[in-house]
Amino acid sequence: MCRLAHVVPIDPHRAVFSSLAFGASVLRRGEMLVWFPEGHRSHTGELQPFRPGIGMLLNRFPVPVVPVFVWGTHEAMPPGKAWPRPTKLTIVFAKPLDPRELGQRGEGDQPQDRIVQALYEHMKELVDART
């Protein structure tokens, strides 16, 4: 199924550099990339800090980024469960963001740090508006 959908699951604890290289390769070819900036599923259902990889990729390849948040996944399949429960899911697609603007808005010493921080704050606003 993953190959058919062009999905490549990545272990965030063991494949950091190869996953960044893979993401860079996808963006270099002009293809779409779905990236989970938290690096893992939340144990609490709350938004977790973003890992630096998304900032590195967006700093090197300043392509539009479309923030997406899916509500209900934690209830549908909490960590440790093998099968999902029937639950209503809501998917919100935000307006595309320019990584260069994120790099100007965010805080941090490096451009990739500013991108990550600004993107996280944008996602947090989406989450807070929903609750």
Average pLDDT over residues 7-14: 64
pLDDT of residue 102 exceeding 80: yes
Q: What is the pLDDT of residue 58?
A: 95
Split at pLDDT 50, 70, 90, the class of 1 is: very low
Q: For residue 18, what are its two tokens?
A: 């190869």
> Average pLDDT for residues 22-28, to the nearest whole number?
88
Distances (CA, A) of 45 to 28, 72, 87, 122, 131: 33, 9, 14, 18, 13
Residues 20, 54: Cα–Cα separation, whole Å: 9
Q: What is the pTM of this model?
A: 0.85
Residue type, 115: I
- Average pLDDT on 70-96 reads 90
Is a pLDDT exceeding 90 seen at residue 119?
yes
- Arithmetic mean of pLDDT, 58-85: 91
In the predicted structure, residue 12 carries a pLDDT above the cut 70 = no
- For residue 2, is pLDDT > 70? no
What is the pLDDT, as a whole number, of residue 7?
62
Residue keyed to tokens 């779409």: 32
